[in-house]
Amino acid sequence: MDGQLGPQDRSAATRGFSLIEMLVVVAILAVLASGASLVAARGGDGQAGADAQRLIRSIEATRTRAIAGRQTLGLVLERRGLRVATRRTTGWEVSDQPIRWRQRATVLRGAEQGGTDRPDIVILPTGTVTEFTVTFSGGGLRRSTCRGDAGGQVTCDG
């Protein structure tokens, strides 16, 4: 032998990874995994609440418009958004521009809701609002439910 080390002559200290290097890698992966699980568990929870707030703002804006314009307005609620409707002498005229939800919405109509040609929420020129229940649910476990009563009171939970 000429004094040079070959691949088979390396000492155990220079082969593979050290225990410290392995622990650092495991710690980094644990931090990344916990962050990913928090994001996945939260899912659309914040978005469901944001959709509930968007509904409240839309009802208030439409109510203000109905009172100021002395006209009957409505909101057509769909799984993916809402559209404003105006009562004309020929029937309801629904806007073509929807306001989109971020999450899926389930709409339960009030007991006095008549035919299918009426919007889900009707707002009279006096500010009176028909009863309704809307539930927003996303990828997470949390849901937001908004309820409106005939007095115009809208409450949301979740």
Q: Band of the pLDDT at 72, cuts 50, 70, 90? A: very high
* The predicted structure's pLDDT at residue 16: 77
Tokens 């029937």 sit at which residue? 91
Q: Structural domain boundaries of the chain?
A: 7-42, 45-157
Rounded mean pLDDT, 111-118: 56
Rounded mean pLDDT, 147-157: 81
77 pLDDT exceeds 50? yes
CA dihedral over 124, 126, 132, 138, signed as positive or negative: positive
Q: Band of the pLDDT at 18, cuts 50, 70, 90? A: confident
CATH class for the region spanning 45-157: alpha beta
* The predicted structure's pLDDT at residue 84: 92
* The predicted structure's pLDDT at residue 113: 45
Tokens found for residue 41? 């568990």
76: phi then psi, degrees, rounded to nearest 5: -95, 115
Q: Band of the pLDDT at 5, cuts 50, 70, 90? A: low
Among residues 88, 79, 77, the alpha carbon closest in space to that of 129 is found at 77
